[in-house]
A and B are shown apart, each in its own frame.
Chain A
Amino acid sequence: MTQTPVPVLHEADELLLGFARALRAAGVPVTQDRTRSYLEATALVGLDDQRATYWAGRATLCSGPDDLDRYDQVFTAWFLSGDRPSPRSQKDERRTVQAALDEGDGAGEVETDEETLNAMASEAEVLRHRDIADLSAREKARLATMFETLRPRAPRRPAHRRNPWHRGDVDAQRTLRQMLKRMGEPGEVVWRRPAQRPRRVVLLLDVSGSMSSYADALLRLAHRFSHPTVGPGTRGVPRVEVFTIGTRLTRVTRAMRMRDPERAIVAAGETVPDWSGGTRLGETLRIFLDRWGQRGLARGAVVVVFSDGWERGDAGLLGEQMRRLHALAHRVVWVNPHVGKTGYLPVQQGIVAALPYVDDLVAGHSLATFADLIEVVADA
């Protein structure tokens, strides 16, 4: 047991490192190198100046406006309140309990009977076409594994640059360069054509009460969209942005980027505050356009709205916002789970207001219709 007094500097470092750790526990992605810059920055401005250390930490540890609120809260709790929790207990709080979902039928049972296999295959085919809202919990769990079969492709747009091609326009520079190689001897003419880049896709998921039975499936679909198959000639991963709409607008893109779908859905669930709430489509859409869309997120993008069009708010506002969205986006696709059902007429107030500004109105109540939707988006 050593009873030597701890140097003051050491204590200060521990205080700062503990703060960085608490911040990470609060959900701000603080990495090791950020922590190091933080220590460096606080040393520069001087630890005794509390306001300066506040700004130094904000500049080095935060990476976006989403982090700023959390930073403020943790800063107040850590530096300004007397009873500071020890770093140890913070670490314990970080553990998230996750329960594995029921694997569904037949996961553990070994059956090699051909008849059973056939039955399974056709059952899967039936499940593909069933309305997701009518499925039992067990069927839903099986369907969840089938989302893997969906392979979204990114829509394409012409890029600024041009690529070599066997026909098209004359590529003067490359032709001349090849001539130069042959000491000015004229030879074959080379051609080029505009290159293609993936177009941005924006998904707006309605998570209000009337859509609650589809919410899980929509998030799974959004997760598939966030991890698309990269086709030949596609440079980089296409940008997919996912938002939930309802009574509030929540960006869940970050959660959707996680590889594992279950984790992604848990993470999205933690971010979205308004599950199964009311629907104020017009207003949330306005917030989306003001904060994100108008500034460029929706510009030239393929925007897919998943909603049944039950609007509690002002339908006029929804129509106005859809007009704005349509003016910004390359294509607006409205996915309505009721469209594919017999006897459906688009008469709800919301959908009537939105319809003039929708390029494609498609069904979205089963896995098969989701596969069709993927084609619509890819060809947009």
Chain B
Amino acid sequence: MHPTTLGSPDDLAKRLGDTGYLCDESLATIGFLALSMHRPLLLEGEPGTGKTALAEAFAEALELPLIRLQCYEGIDAGQALYDWDFPRQILHLRSLEAAGGGAVTDAVAAEESLFDERFLLARPVLRALRESPAVLLVDEIDRADDEFEAFLLEVLSTYQVTIPELGTITAATPPVVVLTSNRTREVHDALKRRCLYHWVEHPGLDREIAIVRTRAPEVSEALARQVATLVQRLRTAEGLLKPPGVAETLDWARALQSLGTRELDVESAAKTLGAVVKYREDAQRVRQALDRMLAG
């Protein structure tokens, strides 16, 4: 379906809800604005607050293909945009040579045939432009370098790219673009200005219970409530090195469920702690506090 046919933020929230992504009012409003203004959406927040999941939910709710670009240090346009399939070009040249009886007769035509669509390796950004309407997820933009941001800025402001050998490729309809950042580095202001900005918070208790119930329907209501309450307490009270995100809550609930736990107690919690906390120091701290937390 086409992204601009959505009537209101509530409409979007409902659609996302149908795919199992429960968003609050703020995220629905901003998502709606991003879709209707054709602006990229920049999501920042703690790891595990569902930034990447939102892009996936967008794709599912709007019935569009999801194209994902994972950023890393040293990523360049060749890995994001397009590249020429060099070995195949060589092979093509060799076969021309063989067909022409050992000598390439028309050098210009041979060279032109080398830069054909079929030797073009479309990378995520180019694919998103060509296959649009689509959802383009640029994940962890903070890991990429400044130069890459500048390049992305160029693409995101015009939604077109120029390949010298082929010409300009323009998206028929702008793709829905979601950028995520864990804020290990400040994203450049020029890029931020192009985007709608949202800081994603951890969900509140009721919403987190609802998320567990939707994502892992096999988990009982009582267990979901206990797990969510405990995780919320871990996030705020204990000063952990890595506070658990929603993904960890889900993992934990599923882990407990598959062990056949009906009610969370100290023993079962201690056994499955590895699903929630990922540092030795954290595990020790939580284990010491479990008694108190389950009692209170």
Contacts and interface: CB of A to CB of B under 8 A. Distances in A.
Given A160-B74, A294-B242, A55 B142 contact: no
A68 interface: yes
Contacts of B170: none
B196 A59 contact: yes
B39 A37 contact: yes
Nearest to B142: A296
Given A45-B29, A56-B33, A183-B104, A62 B182 contact: no
B93 A295 contact: no
Interface residues of A, number: 43
B33 A239 contact: no
A51 B25 contact: yes
A203 to B, nearest CB: 15
A180 B145 contact: no
A59 B30 contact: yes
A45 B34 CA distance: 11
Contacts of B197: 58-60, 62-64
Nearest to B36: A44
A236 interface: yes
Interface in A148-179: 159-161, 173, 176-177
Contacts of A64: 44, 186, 192, 197
B30 A296 contact: no
Contacts of B183: 65, 295
A62 to B, nearest CB: 6
Interface in A36-71: 37, 40-41, 44-45, 51-52, 55-56, 58-60, 62-65, 68
Contacts of A204: none
B294 interface: no
Contacts of A324: 241
Interface residues of B, number: 41
Most buried by A among B73, B189, B197, B241: B197
Contacts of B184: 292, 295-297, 299
Contacts of A177: 86
The secondary structure that dominates the A interface is helix
Nearest to B240: A290
B199 interface: yes
Contacts of B145: 197, 236
A176 B199 contact: no
Contacts of A40: 37
A34 interface: yes
Most buried by B among A41, A160, A180, A239: A41
A235 B76 CA distance: 14
Contacts of A56: 29-30, 33
Interface string A278-321: 00000000100010101111010000000000000000000000
Interface in B18-42: 25-26, 29-30, 32-34, 36-37, 39
A31 B196 contact: no
Nearest to B242: A294
A296 B185 contact: yes
A64 B192 CA distance: 9
A83 interface: no
A33 interface: yes
Contacts of B29: 45, 51-52, 55-56, 59
Contacts of A173: 86
A27 interface: no
Contacts of B65: none
A29 interface: yes
27 contacts: A37-B39, A40-B37, A44-B36, A45-B33, A52-B29, A55-B25, A56-B33, A58-B26, A58-B197, A60-B33, A62-B197, A63-B189, A63-B192, A63-B193, A64-B44, A65-B199, A159-B74, A160-B72, A160-B74, A177-B86, A197-B74, A286-B239, A295-B182, A295-B183, A296-B182, A297-B185, A324-B241
Given A44-B32, A58-B198, A59-B33, 8 more contacts: A51-B29, A56-B30, A56-B33, A59-B29, A59-B196, A68-B199, A161-B76, A290-B239
8 residue pairs, one from A and one from B, having the closest CB atoms: A296-B184, A160-B74, A55-B29, A59-B196, A59-B30, A63-B192, A55-B26, A295-B184
Interface of A: 29, 31, 33-34, 37, 40-41, 44-45, 51-52, 55-56, 58-60, 62-65, 68, 159-161, 173, 176-177, 180, 183, 197, 235-236, 239, 253, 286, 290, 292, 294-297, 299, 324
